[in-house]
Structure formats: C-alpha cells, structure tokens
Amino acid sequence: MSPLAKKTVTKMNGLGNEILILDLRGTDLSVTAEEVRAIGRGEGLKFDQLMVLFDSRAKDTDAFMKIYNIDGSESATCGNGTRCVAWWLLRGTSRDHLTLETAAARLVCHRKGEWSFSVGMGQPRFAWDEIPLRGPVPDTDHVTLALSPPVALPEATLVSMGNPHAVFFLSGAGTHDLATLGPLLEHHPLFPERANISFARVVSPDHIILNVWERGTGLTQACGSAACATLVAAVRRGLSARAARITLPGGDLHIAWRENDGEVEMTGPVAFEYEKSLDPLLFAGLAA
C-alpha cells in the first residue's frame, strides 16, 4: 500500500484553477507520477495542479514545494496554486507574508486580504536556451510556429516564467479553437519540455482577455504563470502597460512587471473547498 494512503489533502481553487495541497513536511515521503495520477482519479479530487509541501531546504523559507500536473508531469511554477498554499500555511496566524521555494525559484507571498494574496513570480526569461527551445531562434518575441496542416496563426512571443509559454495575440473577428490547437502547439517540436499555450486579446493597455491551454492539464479556468507571461509579452510587443488586469474564464488576475527589480507580481483570490483523506483503494495495484 502506498504510504500516502489516508494522508489528508486540501482542495482549493485559485480563480477556478483546481488545486490540491498535500503536506508531507515532517516525513521522508515523496510522490511518484503514478501516485499523482491515482490521486487525481479520486472522487472529488480532480485537479489542475497538486502542490506537495516538503521541509524547507533553506533556513529562511517556510516550505519546499513541488508542483504536479494531473498527468503526473512536474511543473516548475503555479501562481494560482502558490496563492492557495500561502493561504493554507498562514491560516490561523497573524503573519502577512511567507517565502516558498521550488527547484526553480523563491516565491514571496503577501496577504492582501482574507482571501487575496500576491506572489512575486520572479523575473521572466527570453533567451532560447532558458525557455527552453530546441534550438536558437532570431527573436523570441516574434516566432512563427508552423503546424501541419497549416493554420493561420499570428507570430508567438515566447517567455519563460520558470516554465515555457507561447503567447499569441489575436485580433479582429477571427476565432481560433484553442481546444484543438492547444495540444498541437503544446507538443510542437520547438518545445523540448512542451509549452503552455495562451491566446490573448488586448482590450486596452491595462486590460487583456486570456484563454490558456496548460501543458499536462489542458484547457483551464485560470493559469497564473500564463497571465504573467502574457503581460510580459504584451509589454515587449508594445501592446500593454507594465500593469494590467488579465481576465481569464475563472475571473481576473492583476499582473505587474516591476521596473525596479524586473520581477512579475501577481495578485488574485483563493477559495477553500474541503479537506479529504486519501482512500487506500486509490493506490491499489501500484508498485510498492
């Protein structure tokens, strides 16, 4: 039987982004991709991201965090999930901030209200080998991603927010089926680690409408790192101010790309749903 059996998980959502939190601090347990997929099959446990907490590796952080998609793959960052973790760790305390660490970054979170938190998402990266891409491209702000059969898409802007993003700015009355194009673009040969795919429409310099196909998850109600990548891409294209409201299917995030330190800050809501023990039957048949 998996040692995760009967562990308690917390179900939350960040702007409709379905989040599970599994706290393994104080143990020597880990999580396999097979166990991640098994948890996601549990009744009421479908998630976009599973946030797993471990003991801190650095003395000045509150926890080390790993992030898993429902297909068992690992993600380097999840802004909506990080806000949920911040609420979960700060609940019942008088503290108003904490620092989380992942393999990719240190994430500083601040409480803005009872159910609102901001997260410093780090500095965006634009070099082809930092995103990463399979090989050099002349300009990561203007990249043509060819599909077969051909699809009329605008040039993409490619950005890393600790995970790879391709942002397409759509204009006019034309429509693009993200449910169809998302998986094709996610697995485009240019992306050795796949990519998150964003279709964005700039309403005004301080308002962008966004839909996201999230790698390893699919269509999602919200994706915090994609909202950050989209704001950065819009600024680099001269389409947006350095702070804007990003409207996703699940609601609004407020994103600011700070000039003083180059970091991107995301602010948005969280919601608690319930806590539940993991049924041992979920792990029946898994390798020991």
Residues marked as catalytic: 78, 223
Rg for the chain, CA atoms, rounded:
19
Give me the numbers of helices (H) and strands (E) for the chain, helices first please: 4, 17
DSSP code of residue 86: H
Could you tell me the two tokens for 71? 């297909």
Q: Long-range contact list for 146-149, CB < 8 A, 24+ apart?
A: 147/181, 147/184, 147/185, 147/188
Rounded to an integer, what is the distance from CA 251 to the centroid of its chain?
Answer: 15
What ranges in the chain are assigned the alpha helix state H? 33-40, 79-90, 178-186, 224-236
CA atoms of 105 and 45, how far apart (whole Å): 27
The residues, ordered by sequence, that sit 6+ positions from 209 with a Cβ below 8 Å of its Cβ are 200, 201, 203, 247
Please name which of 62, 70, 151 lies closest in space to residue 107, comparing C-alpha atoms. 62
Q: What does each C-alpha distance from 54 to 10, 80, 111, 131, 252 come to in angstroms? A: 15, 19, 22, 26, 30
